[in-house]
Amino acid sequence: MLTRDVNTASLCRIGQETVQDIVLRTMEIFQLLRNMQLPNGVTYHPNTHQDRLGKLQEHLRTLSVLFRKLRLVYDKCNENCTGLDLIPPEQLIPFVEDDGSKHDDRSTSQSRPATEERKEILEVNKKLKQKNQQLKQIMDQLRNLIWEINSMLAVRS
């Protein structure tokens, strides 16, 4: 199945599909095991039991073949990648570049309006808190005034 001209990306795709098949078959095996009844003598149907046992054995054989296929793909990928130079992960991150100054200029020019907007929002938020505090004080004063007026009216009558 695996030929010499298959590239590593295709092998990885085949490996991914094989893993998905393995997961699917394993789920089917668990489904069969869940539905399988133990031959306890009460609900034992030999034909049904033998049929389910045959399906289970077939799934296990298929699963074994899939694992062998996955091992072949894995070995072939390792063989194809042995000559490659390992690149440190830090170099694969896009924002780490040789021309760091270009990126810094871009990021600062893009983040400048955001920081200014954040400062404005914080100032507005501070002013709103002050206004809310003032309104609360006014409401408390009005409440006390109404209470005093009601108390005086109650004393008169």
Query: Do 23 and 76 sit in the same domain of this protein?
Result: yes
How many structural domains comprise the chain? 2
**Domain final residue pick, 54, 84, 114:** 84
| C-alpha–C-alpha distance, residues 137 and 94, integer Å | 54
Within 8 A by CB and 6+ apart from 76, the residues are: 2, 6, 11
Query: Do 77 and 12 sit in the same domain of this protein?
Result: yes
* Residue 142 domain-assigned (yes or no): yes
- Crossing angle of helices 8-35 and 46-81, rounded to 10°: 160
Mean pLDDT of 128-151: 94
Element (H, E) at 142: helix 100-156
Could you read off the pLDDT of 67-88 as tens digits, one per residue? 999 999 999 888 888 777 777 7
For residue 114, what pLDDT is reported?
80
Query: Do 80 and 130 sit in the same domain of this protein?
Result: no
pLDDT band at 105 (very low <50, low <70, confident <90, very high): low
- Smallest CA-to-CA distance from 18 within 58, 70, 76 is with 70
**Domain final residue pick, 28, 63, 84:** 84
Could you read off the pLDDT of 14-71 as tens digits, one per residue? 999 999 999 999 999 888 888 776 656 555 567 777 888 888 899 999 999 999 999 9
Long-range Cβ pairs for the range 3-10 (8 Å, 24+): 6/76, 7/80, 8/77, 8/80, 8/81
* Residue 31 domain-assigned (yes or no): yes
* Residue 3 domain-assigned (yes or no): no
According to DSSP, residue 1 is labeled -
| Parent domain of 65 | 8-84
3, pLDDT greater than 50: no
| C-alpha–C-alpha distance, residues 27 and 33, integer Å | 10
- Smallest CA-to-CA distance from 63 within 33, 96, 104 is with 33
